[in-house]
């Protein structure tokens, strides 16, 4: 289903010409799987440290890591702190553990293998007590209807589709190319996404929708003309902030929402024209002494009933 949080968004969605989308969980399934583990310490200990920290997170990558290590002994983590757009830090068995992207290690001036930057896939790098400990390689899949959704957006009047992601630029560009997205930007922190969207909105001719699902997308959803959240896997914060909620997590439903908006607007215009036309006709007939009380009743109650019946047609339309 599709939830509109107000009739004004049904109208505004018909004026959209730019759609900005997150990658993970929006265009991709957000169901990650661990593909490879590389560690500089004992692998079991490495995974125990990593799982202890990731178990406190709701991020899809964290869930994938926890699922991968569920048969192994896990340590207990304390003082978990989320560093927006970078990862997590916490205390495990008296040691400081960092788990996230390369930017997290750079922030804490931790030296790591330069080859890490050449890896195109998504990885979670880990440091224990300020020393690089290894990484986990993660894979995600593109949703089946993502490419078709982008194609249909273009066919339904959307001039530009943009993808913003905190993932590696190489991965983001690869996904964007495969889906036919006009432009894409990777390695973005939450504040970077906000800055990019504000830059897009500087063009006053643009009506911009942002589509996302994560808690990090909340600020961008809030400043877009229309915020659209993917509800099935979306965070509560994203769903609360959004103006429209796609409850099935299918990107193609964004096109459906636009079509519903256009159909609704068409019916509203039809009802307005019908009401004015009938009332004007009866008014003219009444001024000429040709209209009876029954014509007046029809102009009032009859037109209202016709408008309702016309509006009910929307429920039977297939989008």
- Catalytically active residues, by annotation: 22
214 vs 237: CA distance, rounded Å: 8
210 forms bridges with which residues in the sheet? Answer: 20, 227
Rounded distance, CA 160 to CA 99, Å?
A: 35
DSSP H or E run through 86: none
* Cβ atoms of 128 and 42 closer than 8 Å: no
Residue pointed to by tokens 């107000």: 6
Q: Which of 248, 249, 201 lies closest to 222, judged by CA?
A: 201
Neighbour count for residue 198 (Cβ, 10 Å): 13
Beta bridge partners of 135: 38, 125
């Amino acid at each position: 289903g599709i939830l509109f949080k107000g009739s004004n968004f049904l109208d505004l969605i018909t004026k959209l010409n730019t759609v900005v989308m997150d990658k993970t969980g929006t265009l991709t399934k957000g169901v990650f799987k661990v593909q490879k583990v590389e560690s500089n310490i004992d692998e079991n200990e490495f995974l125990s440290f990593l799982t202890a920290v990731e178990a406190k997170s709701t991020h899809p990558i964290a869930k994938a890591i926890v699922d991968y290590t569920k048969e192994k002994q896990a340590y207990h983590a304390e003082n978990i702190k989320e560093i927006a757009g970078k990862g997590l830090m916490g205390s495990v068995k008296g040691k400081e553990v960092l788990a996230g992207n390369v930017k997290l290690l750079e922030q804490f001036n931790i030296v790591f293998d330069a080859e890490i930057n050449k890896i195109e896939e998504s990885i979670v790098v880990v440091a224990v007590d300020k020393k690089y400990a290894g990484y986990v390689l993660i894979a995600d899949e593109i949703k089946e209807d993502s490419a078709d959704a982008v194609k249909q957006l273009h066919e339904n009047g959307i001039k530009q589709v943009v993808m913003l992601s905190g993932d590696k630029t190489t991965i983001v560009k690869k996904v964007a190319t495969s889906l036919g997205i006009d432009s894409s930007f990777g390695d973005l922190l939450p504040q970077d996404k906000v800055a990019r969207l504000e830059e897009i909105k500087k063009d006053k001719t643009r009506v911009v929708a942002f589509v996302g699902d994560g808690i990090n997308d909340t600020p961008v959803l809030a400043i877009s003309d229309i915020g659209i959240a993917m509800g099935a896997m979306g965070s509560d914060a994203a769903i609360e902030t959004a103006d429209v909620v796609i409850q099935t997590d299918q990107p193609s439903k964004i096109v459906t929402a636009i079509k519903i908006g256009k159909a609704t607007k068409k019916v509203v215009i039809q009802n307005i024209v019908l009401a004015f036309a009938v009332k004007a006709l009866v008014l003219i007939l009444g001024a000429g002494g040709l209209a009876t009380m029954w014509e007046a009743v029809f102009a009032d109650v009859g037109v209202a009933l016709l408008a309702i019946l016309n509006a009910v047609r929307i429920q039977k339309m297939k989008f």
